[in-house]
């Protein structure tokens, strides 16, 4: 994608769409530079990540029992602006907002600027990402400067850490390759989230205010009912809330399954896997400054951290109880995905799905 600023002169009736070209342009210019390193070291990171993404495929397939015989596409190793441009393309494909729809008189420019700022912030935190919406077999992205930055901060063996990161992202590729319906399932639920209901702004604000009052009065809340996600749910119609719940459960499963696989490969593949997991978990829970905490909450990143923990506990529990082969029934279709009531109690899922 070109990094030239979009002209935005085309007319469109879609005033609420996001101008993802503008988001990519904005985010790439706002992104912070990566860690200082020599050209030799930077090229070495890129080469080793590309190789590790291929080497990770075998252990992932062995642990999961999935994707046997499917092709192994090469990964794209990118810098932060490269990830931003790729993420913007992916979001455009996921939401169905093509270039013409995003550019009207005002078009999606305000939303595009906001999305660009969000992507710029995220670009320094993302280690890798599997994009199922671009390319014949999807696209596996690895963000080299972020991998280098984290491995330095954790003080762990670089080769082990790079392979460990690839195990997580390759697991996502294996998930989507083995269950192609997941991509369409995501699109359908995202489309539901984007629907405009008949509720007036006044009614929406009233429900939001009531939710805020309820939160002020206290009470125990699940991660999907707290913070920004809870406020989002308070302004949604029932079909939208149901779609959000389905996406949250899917995300929790995908991330938890990938975390399970990362650790299940064992020290024969990643000798320092236990040390890396301990250091990485400590980094996830480390306190950030107040501004960073606010931004994380607004972007839902704290909820995403909870997804890893809850999802991994669910997958660990089911696999321990019935084995990976039986667990793989979960990829059969939408009806076998865990329900909100099952993610904290894997026995309920086993009873409903496996009988």
Domain ranges, ordered by start, for the chain: 9-178, 180-355
Lookup: tokens for 112: 């595009």
CB atoms under 10 Å from CB of 172, counted, come to 23
pLDDT tens digit sequence for 255-288: 999 999 998 988 999 999 999 999 988 886 665 5
- Would you give the DSSP letter of residue 138? B
pLDDT band at 53 (very low <50, low <70, confident <90, very high): very high
What distance in Å separates the CA atoms of residue 74 and residue 246, rounded to the nearest whole number? 31
Helix (H, G, I), strand (E, B) or coil at 288: coil
pLDDT for the residue numbered 71: 86
Asked whether 353 and 328 are in contact (CB, 8 A), the reply is: no
Lowest mean pLDDT among 187-196, 247-256, 266-275: 187-196
pLDDT tens digit sequence for 231-242: 555 566 788 888
Name residues whose C-beta falls within 8 Å of residue 185's C-beta, 6 or more positions apart in sequence: 246, 250, 334
Burial of 86 (0-12, 13-18, 19+ CB in 10 A): buried
Inform me whether the pLDDT recorded for 12 exceeds 70.
Answer: no
Higher pLDDT residue, 234 or 334? 334
pLDDT band at 327 (very low <50, low <70, confident <90, very high): very high
Mean pLDDT of the chain: 81
CB atoms under 10 Å from CB of 16, counted, come to 15
Owner of token pair 């002209």: 7
26-52 mean pLDDT = 95
What distance in Å separates the CA atoms of residue 28 and residue 18, rounded to the nearest whole number? 16
171-189 mean pLDDT = 94
Cα distances (Å, whole numbers) of residue 114 to 19, 31, 59, 79: 10, 13, 39, 21
Asked whether 132 and 183 are in contact (CB, 8 A), the reply is: yes
Highest-confidence range of 91-95, 124-128, 209-213, 280-284, by mean pLDDT?
Answer: 124-128
pLDDT band at 221 (very low <50, low <70, confident <90, very high): very low
pLDDT tens digit sequence for 71-114: 888 899 999 999 999 999 998 888 776 554 455 545 578 888 88
Inform me whether the pLDDT recorded for 31 exceeds 90.
Answer: yes
pLDDT for the residue numbered 306: 67
CA 331 to chain centre: 18
pLDDT band at 349 (very low <50, low <70, confident <90, very high): very high
What distance in Å separates the CA atoms of residue 2 and residue 63, rounded to the nearest whole number? 40
Higher pLDDT residue, 115 or 349? 349
pLDDT for the residue numbered 134: 86
Q: Does domain 9-178 have CATH number 3.40.1710.10?
A: no
pLDDT for the residue numbered 236: 66
Asked whether 173 and 66 are in contact (CB, 8 A), the reply is: no
Inform me whether the pLDDT recorded for 115 exceeds 90.
Answer: no
Asked whether 149 and 32 are in contact (CB, 8 A), the reply is: no
What distance in Å separates the CA atoms of residue 256 and residue 251, rounded to the nearest whole number? 8
Q: What percent of the chain has pLDDT over 90?
A: 53
Cα distances (Å, whole numbers) of residue 275 to 76, 169, 292, 293: 27, 20, 27, 26
pLDDT for the residue numbered 27: 96
Name residues whose C-beta falls within 8 Å of residue 96's C-beta, 6 or more positions apart in sequence: 187, 191
The torsion angles phi and psi of 139, rounded to 5 degrees, stand at: -135, 125
């Amino acid at each position: 994608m070109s990094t030239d600023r979009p002209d935005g002169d085309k007319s469109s009736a879609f005033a609420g769409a996001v101008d993802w070209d503008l988001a990519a342009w904005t985010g790439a210019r706002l992104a912070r530079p990566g860690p200082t390193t020599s050209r030799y070291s930077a090229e070495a990171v890129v080469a080793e990540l590309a190789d590790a993404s291929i080497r990770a495929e075998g252990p992932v397939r062995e642990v999961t029992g999935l994707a046997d015989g499917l092709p192994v596409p090469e990964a794209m190793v990118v810098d932060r602006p490269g990830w931003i441009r790729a993420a913007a393309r992916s979001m455009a494909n996921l939401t169905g907002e093509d270039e013409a729809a995003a550019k009207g008189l005002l078009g999606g420019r305000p939303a595009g600027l906001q999305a660009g700022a969000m992507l710029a912030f995220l670009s320094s935190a993302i280690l890798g990402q599997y994009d199922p919406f671009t390319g014949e077999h999807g696209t596996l992205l690895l963000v080299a400067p972020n991998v280098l930055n984290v491995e330095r901060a954790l003080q762990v063996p670089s080769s082990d850490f790079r392979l460990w990161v690839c195990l997580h992202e390759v697991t996502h590729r294996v998930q989507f390759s083995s269950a192609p319906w997941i991509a369409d399932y995501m699109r359908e639920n995202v489309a539901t989230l984007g629907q405009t209901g008949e509720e007036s702004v006044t009614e929406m604000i009233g429900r939001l205010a009531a939710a805020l009052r309820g939160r002020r009065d206290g009470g125990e809340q699940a991660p999907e009912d707290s913070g920004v996600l809870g406020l989002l749910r308070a302004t949604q119609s029932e079909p939208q809330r149901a779609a959000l719940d389905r996406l949250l459960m899917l995300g929790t499963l995908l991330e938890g399954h990938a975390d399970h696989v990362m650790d299940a490969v064992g020290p024969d593949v990643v000798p320092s896997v236990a040390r890396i997991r301990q250091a990485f978990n400590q980094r996830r829970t480390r306190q950030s400054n107040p501004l960073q905490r606010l931004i994380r909450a607004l972007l839902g990143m704290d909820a995403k951290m909870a997804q890893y923990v809850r999802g991994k506990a669910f997958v660990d529990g089911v696999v321990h109880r019935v084995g990976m082969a039986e667990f793989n029934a979960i990829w059969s279709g939408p009806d076998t995905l865990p329900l909100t009531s099952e993610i904290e109690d894997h026995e309920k899922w086993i009873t409903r799905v496996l009988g």
